[in-house]
């Protein structure tokens, strides 16, 4: 088990050696992820285990967890979104090899020379775990939007007739 994360590794050697990596990574070092966040503070805790399953399929198990700061699309306020990733990636050399992966295994296309960036794999999985529209579960819509008084006021005087009333008359 290793605490430091190498910049790149040979995926096939890692599988043969059944290597594992664990540690923390500053969120600020993940440039693509930072573009989707409101703050780059914090750390990602990760774990990666390389191996080969009973069918002989090479894989890497990726575990990561972080508290990511995103903007709530309801209130437009930043909030901390806890993100947990626990996935198995099947290592493939060609896209056609994807059909041979088990259903619980996502494909990861490895370069011809076998080199892969572990930080990029962690970053990809965190990006995939982010919701398309982040909403803070503790946020509420403003009272002006949810109050029923505005509906009652508009139902009184000043309200125009139903625009489809003319069509109703034509139907008769």
Cα separation, 101 vs 91, whole angstroms: 9
Burial 33-46 (b: 16+ CB within 10 A, else e): beeebbebeeebeb
Total structural domains within the chain: 1
Asked whether residue 70 is domain-assigned, the answer is yes
Asked whether residue 150 is domain-assigned, the answer is no
The stretch 111-122 carries a mean pLDDT of: 94
Q: Which of 104-113, 146-155, 156-165 has the lowest mean pLDDT?
A: 146-155
Asked whether residue 149 is domain-assigned, the answer is no
Q: What mean pLDDT is reported for the chain?
A: 87
Asked whether residue 169 is domain-assigned, the answer is no
* Helix or strand (DSSP H, E) at 151: helix 149-155
User: pTM score, two decimals?
Assistant: 0.78
Q: What is the pLDDT of residue 168?
A: 78
Asked whether residue 66 is domain-assigned, the answer is yes
Q: Which is more confidently placed, 127 or 5?
A: 127
Domain of residue 113 covers 9-139
Asked whether residue 144 is domain-assigned, the answer is no
Q: What is the pLDDT of residue 150?
A: 47
Asked whether residue 171 is domain-assigned, the answer is no
Asked whether residue 110 is domain-assigned, the answer is yes
């Amino acid at each position: 088990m290793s605490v430091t994360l190498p910049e790149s590794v040979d995926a096939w050697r890692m599988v043969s050696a059944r290597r594992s990596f664990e540690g923390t990574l500053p969120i600020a070092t993940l440039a693509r992820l930072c573009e989707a966040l409101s703050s780059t503070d914090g750390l990602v805790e990760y774990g990666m285990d390389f191996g080969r399953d009973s069918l002989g399929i090479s894989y890497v198990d990726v575990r990561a967890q972080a508290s990511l700061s995103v903007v709530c699309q309801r209130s437009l306020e930043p909030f901390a979104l806890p993100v947990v990733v626990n996935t198995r990636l099947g290592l493939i050399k060609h896209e056609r090899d994807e059909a041979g992966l088990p259903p619980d295994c996502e494909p990861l296309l490895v370069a011809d020379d076998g080199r892969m960036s572990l930080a990029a794999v962690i970053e990809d999985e965190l990006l995939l775990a982010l919701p398309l529209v982040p909403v803070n579960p503790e946020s509420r819509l403003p009272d002006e939007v949810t109050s029923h008084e505005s509906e009652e006021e508009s139902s009184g005087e000043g309200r125009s007739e139903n625009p489809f009333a003319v069509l109703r008359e034509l139907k008769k």
